[in-house]
């Protein structure tokens, strides 16, 4: 359509402008040629100049009119450069819609992370045997096993001689010496290293007290009796009866039995550090 319109405009401008312009140019040329004719009457200088000016105007105006259809043809009929992408747009294959896979019939619920639950750590070998030895404590027994961290060990086993509820029992036994067992665990070797420490007992108005380092023994005590006279009998619920004469074995044997049941070894230390 644009090309047809350009052709029509070119034709119209040629008829309306090109032909009249060509005629004016021809008239101007003829006028200039007439001034050169020898047969004609000589012109004055002023008339000659006017004739030249008129011929030039006719020629110039005619050329301008002739130039109009030429310019119209150039601007309307020239082939415009169309970008390759645009020219090929008409031939490009139609865009295919992106493939969308069908949704599954069942959509599993989104995974939600559950808060971490505290892990109940299993007792270490040291903690297990620690608890087993503490279970030897009972109100009717004349000894006790206590935490020994204040003195640099794990556990301490001792007679209840400084317990007010047991003054009378130990007074009847006429104790003059007692000892403690200091225990330290070695989980790598599964050993309980034990050291005995012996103390003298001083009685004042029926109240006993340990003599401190004045009479102090550190090592391993043999099975000797520290008590004289009346002992103490402990009767348990199932009918088991324990008779105490407050010697070393009566305190060591229950401890050694528990340690052996746990698969550990009781190792007495006579010298050096635990």
Across the chain, mean pLDDT equals 74
42: pLDDT strictly greater than 50: yes
Q: What is the pLDDT of residues 190-200, one digit of tens each?
A: 999 999 888 88
264: pLDDT strictly greater than 80: yes
216: pLDDT strictly greater than 50: no
Whether the pTM exceeds 0.75: the reply is no
pLDDT at 18: 64
pLDDT at 145: 96
Work out the widest C-alpha separation in the chain, in whole angstroms. 187
pLDDT at 271: 64
């Amino acid at each position: 359509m644009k090309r047809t319109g350009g052709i029509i405009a070119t034709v119209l401008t040629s008829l309306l402008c090109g032909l009249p312009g060509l005629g004016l140019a021809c008239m101007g040329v003829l006028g200039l040629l007439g001034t050169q004719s020898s047969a004609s009457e000589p012109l004055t200088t002023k008339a000659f100049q006017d004739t030249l000016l008129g011929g030039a105007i006719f020629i110039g105006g005619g050329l301008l009119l002739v130039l109009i259809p030429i310019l119209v043809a150039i601007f309307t009929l020239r082939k415009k450069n169309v970008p390759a992408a645009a020219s090929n747009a008409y031939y490009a294959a139609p865009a295919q819609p992106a493939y969308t896979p069908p949704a599954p019939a069942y959509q599993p619920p989104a995974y939600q992370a559950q808060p971490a639950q505290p892990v109940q750590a299993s007792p270490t070998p040291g903690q297990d045997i620690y608890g087993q030895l503490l279970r030897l404590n009972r109100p009717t027994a004349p000894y006790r096993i206590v935490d020994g961290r204040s003195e640099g060990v794990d556990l301490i086993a001792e007679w209840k001689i400084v317990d007010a509820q047991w003054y009378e029992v130990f007074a009847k036994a006429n104790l003059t010496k007692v000892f403690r067992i200091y225990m330290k665990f070695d989980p790598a070797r599964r050993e309980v290293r034990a050291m005995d420490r012996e103390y003298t007992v001083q009685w004042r108005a029926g109240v006993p007290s340990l003599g401190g380092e004045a009479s102090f023994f550190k090592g391993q005590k043999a099975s000797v009796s520290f008590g004289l006279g009346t002992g103490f009998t402990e009767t348990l619920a199932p009918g088991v009866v324990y008779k105490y004469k407050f010697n070393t074995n009566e305190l060591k044997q229950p401890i050694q039995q528990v340690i052996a049941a746990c698969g550990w070894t009781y190792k007495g230390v006579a010298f050096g550090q635990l």
